[in-house]
Amino acid sequence: MEHKDFVECLKKYRELIWPVIDNNLKTIVDFEKSCRPKKKYQFLVDLHQEIFEVYPKRMGKYFRPSMVMLTGEAMGVSRDKLLNTAAAQQLSEEWILIHDDVEDDSAQRRGKEALHHIYSKELAINAGDALHVLMWRMLQNNRKIIGEDKTFEIMAEFSRMLNRTVLGQTIEIKWTQENKKNLEDEDILLILESKTGYYTVAGPMREGAIIAGASPNQMEKIYEFGKLTGYCFQIKDDLLDLTSDFAGLKKQTGNDIYEGKRTIMLAHLMRVIEGEDKRKLSNVLEKDRYHKSPDEVEWVIEKMKEYGSLDYADRLMKKFGQEAQEYFLKNLGFLKKSPARDFLEYLPEFLINRDH
């Protein structure tokens, strides 16, 4: 398999999943007659809809919902039983990103201005809330598609996955606000497992597996594979933040440094940097994003190169990728149906070699 095959796979699933999301977005303002606003307030309803549709209509790569689809299909489930759950998984990303951008005061999302900079923080948070509510309603609608029992199993998995995700966010924000400097790899991996291992890979895969009737043992094995693969995903993402413009979608290099996020490479640099460089790094990290200059951020990136932090992160990512591939071949034989199985087997290699 080649890289472009996996990219085309993601595009194919996006084309299938987007219409489901689009149809559901319309239902947010489809109020019942008893609580429908008067016509003279329709302009406010329209504004509400305009705001909450911004991120969904920008459409990301649809990686997470594709994991739902690939896993379910690899276990013999038809697409029509997977699409609604996959769409809800993508919608979860939309509201999480809105809230995440407010928390980090991010400047951009998917190559355009972040939602809270277009409207306001308050209206952006509210738009995220609207999409959050819709996500749960879409999951309730699974009763007509996969039956009552599996619907509640999927909702329980969403709850577990999102609960661990927000724990990761708490830890990341706390350590950033404290400007915590004495972090080991294990500390960073705690965040990565929560926000990427579970939310980005393991959770979506487990959703597809639940619909397929997976056993508890199979669910545990999927989690372990997702955790290892998620490490690869996030470390690569953090490396690209320092070295890439994400195929033209990101104009600011080193956004994680501006935000003060604790990454594998920053933790490594803080452990090994010495002398005057260590004092300067500490001074840079004590500033908020608006008081860090581009020259200071570029200096940090150069020090990451000089002290081997980028190479260290790259080696660690490839180690996890190798472990994930070996684990897949040894333990995930129940993912049998091709071509879906082939794409999942290729997943660690795809994540390591992607350029955005």
pLDDT digits (tens, 9 = 90+) for 46-62: 999 999 999 999 999 99
Q: Is the pLDDT of residue 352 over 70?
A: yes
CB 222 within 8 A of CB 214: yes
Range 270-279 average pLDDT:
96
Q: Which two tokens stand for residue 111?
A: 């190559």
Average pLDDT (34-47) is 96
- Is-above-0.75 flag for pTM? yes
List C-alpha distances in Å: 16 to 12, 13, 338. Answer: 7, 5, 19
Position 200 confidence tier, pLDDT thresholds 50, 70, 90 = very high
- Residue 246 confidence (pLDDT): 47
pLDDT value for 215: 98
- The pLDDT confidence band at residue 252, using thresholds 50, 70 and 90, is low
- CA nearest 140: which of 155, 128, 125, 127? 155
**Residue 109 in this model has a pLDDT that exceeds 50:** yes
- Enumerate residues 6+ apart whose C-beta is below 8 A from 313: 235, 238, 239, 263, 264, 265, 268
Predicted confidence (pLDDT) at residue 244 exceeds the cutoff of 90: no
Q: Kindly calculate the radius of gyration of the chain based on its CA atoms and give it in whole angstroms.
A: 21
What are the domain boundaries of the chain? Answer: 3-353
209 touches 222 (CB < 8 A): yes
The encoded tokens of residue 128 equal 């995220």
Express as a percent the part of the chain with pLDDT over 70: 98
Q: Which two tokens stand for residue 298?
A: 């570029």
- The whole-chain average pLDDT of the chain stands at 95
Q: Look at residue 290 in the predicted model and tell me its pLDDT.
A: 87
Nearest to 5 by CA among 355, 356, 347: 347
Cis peptide before 56 (omega within 30 of 0): no
- State the pLDDT at residue 163: 97
The pLDDT score that the predictor gives to residue 248 is 52
pLDDT (0 to 100) of residue 243: 85
pLDDT grade for 356, boundaries at 50, 70 and 90: confident
Find the mean pLDDT for residues 94-103: 96
Which tokens in the block code for residue 323?
């472990």
pLDDT at 289: 86
Q: Is the pLDDT of residue 138 over 80?
A: yes
Fold (CATH) for 3-353: Farnesyl Diphosphate Synthase (1.10.600)
3-state secondary structure of 86: helix
